[in-house]
Structures are given as structure tokens and as C-alpha cells.
């Protein structure tokens, strides 16, 4: 007896293709958010830097605001980190769904090989175990997320130190 619905595999493939295309668009969208968050953070940091330098170029009364500017910068750094952390969850979810679709389509048939993996399977593998399949350990540790974490942690520490220094300098 033949298959009662010969079009079923085609419909399933088209459904996967639609979901995969949607994941690609969402992934791009969430990465655009990340780009805009980082650009916004750097612009904010530049503005705070200008405000901080202004406090030291004017009267002694304005210098009393320097620690507030650094404290505000530290607070905003924490907020930007929270926003980026949440955004990571969103684009990692897209990577996982697209990776599952690639696996269902047979792209990821050899789990030990990275040669025949689909793009999202490779991205998902890199998220779980960063870096190239073999090589220098530090390169395996580096990801975009960790680089942003290091940048924001360094900025947070520098801004806290600047707030403490500025507060003590005017007292």
C-alpha cells in the first residue's frame, strides 16, 4: 500500500525552511540589537568622559560632581551589561532552533566533525565550547560575549575607581 499523503515530506521540509528562515532573520535582528547596544554604550561613555573633563576645567564647585559622573557611568555600565546578557539569551535561542533544524535535515550527521556542520550548529557548538576544534587554549576561551564582558568589567572597575578618587580629591 502506498503512502496516503505523498506531499507530507515536502510540507515538512517547507515548514522547516520557513522556521529556519525566520530564525536567520531573528538572529540578525538580535545581533543588530547587540551592535546598537555597544554603540550606544560607547557614545554614553564618551559623553560622560566629556562631562568629567568639563568638571576639572571649571571652578572648584563643579569638581564636586566628578564622582557623581563616574558613579553614573558605573551604573549605566551595569545596565548595558544586563541588556547585553538578556540579548545573548535571545540570539542563542535562535542558534539552537536553527541548529536543531540543520540536524533534522541531516547537516550534522557526524557530531565529532566540524567540517560538515551547518552554520548554526557550528555557532551553537562554539557557544558551548568556544574556539576552533583544536589549538591554543586561549583561543578556545575567547568569544564575542566574553570580550564584551571584559570590556564592561574593565570600564565598571575604572569608573568605580574614578568615583572613589574624585570623591576623595574634593573632600
Q: Is residue 158 part of a domain?
A: yes
- Total domains in the chain come to 1
Q: What is the mean pLDDT of residues 129-134?
A: 52
Q: Is residue 48 part of a domain?
A: yes
Q: Is residue 15 part of a domain?
A: yes
Q: Is residue 162 part of a domain?
A: yes
Asked whether the predicted pLDDT for residue 80 surpasses 80, the reply is yes
List Cβ neighbours of 88 (8 Å cut-off, separation of 6 or more): 145
Is residue 52 a contact partner of residue 72, using CB atoms and an 8 Å limit? Answer: no
Q: Is residue 127 part of a domain?
A: no
Residue 147: all three cell numbers together: 570580550
The span from the CA of 112 to the CA of 116, in Å, is: 10
Domain encompassing residue 71: 8-89+138-170
Q: What is the reported pLDDT for 42?
A: 96
Q: What is the reported pLDDT for 137?
A: 60
- How do residues 59-70 score in pLDDT, each as one tens digit? 777 788 899 999
Cβ neighbourhood burial of 114 (10 Å; 0-12, 13-18, 19+): middle
- What is the DSSP-derived secondary structure letter of residue 106? T
Q: Is residue 124 part of a domain?
A: no
Q: Is residue 69 part of a domain?
A: yes
Q: What is the reported pLDDT for 45?
A: 96
Q: Is residue 98 part of a domain?
A: no
Is residue 43 a contact partner of residue 80, using CB atoms and an 8 Å limit? Answer: no
- How do residues 94-126 score in pLDDT, each as one tens digit? 888 888 888 877 776 665 655 556 777 777 665
Amino acid at each position: 500500500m502506498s503512502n496516503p499523503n505523498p506531499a507530507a515530506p515536502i510540507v515538512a521540509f517547507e515548514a522547516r525552511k520557513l522556521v529556519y528562515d525566520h530564525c536567520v532573520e531573528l538572529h540578525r535582528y538580535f545581533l543588530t540589537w547587540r551592535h546598537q547596544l555597544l554603540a550606544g554604550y560607547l557614545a554614553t561613555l564618551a559623553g560622560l568622559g566629556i562631562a568629567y573633563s568639563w568638571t576639572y576645567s571649571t571652578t572648584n564647585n563643579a569638581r564636586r560632581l566628578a564622582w557623581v559622573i563616574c558613579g553614573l557611568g558605573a551604573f549605566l555600565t551595569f545596565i548595558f551589561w544586563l541588556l547585553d546578557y538578556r540579548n545573548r539569551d535571545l540570539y542563542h535561542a535562535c542558534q539552537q532552533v536553527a541548529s536543531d533544524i540543520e540536524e533534522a535535515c541531516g547537516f550534522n550527521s557526524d557530531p565529532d566533525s566540524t567540517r560538515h556542520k551547518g552554520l548554526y550548529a557550528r555557532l551553537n557548538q562554539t557557544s558551548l565550547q568556544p574556539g576552533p576544534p583544536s589549538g591554543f587554549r586561549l583561543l578556545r576561551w575567547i568569544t564575542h560575549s566574553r570580550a564584551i564582558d571584559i570590556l564592561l568589567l574593565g570600564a565598571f572597575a575604572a569608573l568605580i575607581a574614578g568615583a572613589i578618587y574624585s570623591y576623595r580629591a574634593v573632600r
